[in-house]
Amino acid sequence: MLSMNISLPEPLKQFVDGQVSAGRYRSASEYVGELIHADARRKAEEHLESKLLDGLSSAESELKADDWTEIRKAALARVKARIPAP
């Protein structure tokens, strides 16, 4: 595993330390890693939704809004399965 040093203002460092001391995470690295994974999932979901909306608004689409809702659910489930939890 590679390491990366980051600098935080004191209030943020105290918050991270509080998350660790509360037992939610084993270390500050685990906490930051989980935040990065969550952000990656969110960005992947936003990208997918954008593509689905592009398709839905396309004049060439023969699918109905309900069809896209089901496709979106299935696609988001696949995205979540690809990005492992920390």
What is the per-residue pLDDT for 68? 79
In a domain, 28, yes or no: yes
Q: pLDDT per residue over 30-63, tens digit each?
A: 999 999 999 999 999 899 889 888 877 777 767 7
Q: pLDDT per residue over 14-30, tens digit each?
A: 999 999 999 999 999 99
Our count of domains for the chain comes to 1
- pTM, two decimals, is 0.62
10 Å CB burial of residue 27 (0-12, 13-18, 19+) is exposed
Name the band, by pLDDT with cuts 50, 70 and 90, for residue 69.
Answer: confident
How far from chain centre, in Å, is Cα 67?
Answer: 24
User: What is the extent of the structural domain holding 44?
Assistant: 10-82
pLDDT at 7 over 80: yes
| C-beta separation of 46 from 75 below 8 A | no
| C-beta separation of 45 from 76 below 8 A | yes
In a domain, 1, yes or no: no
What is the per-residue pLDDT for 31? 96
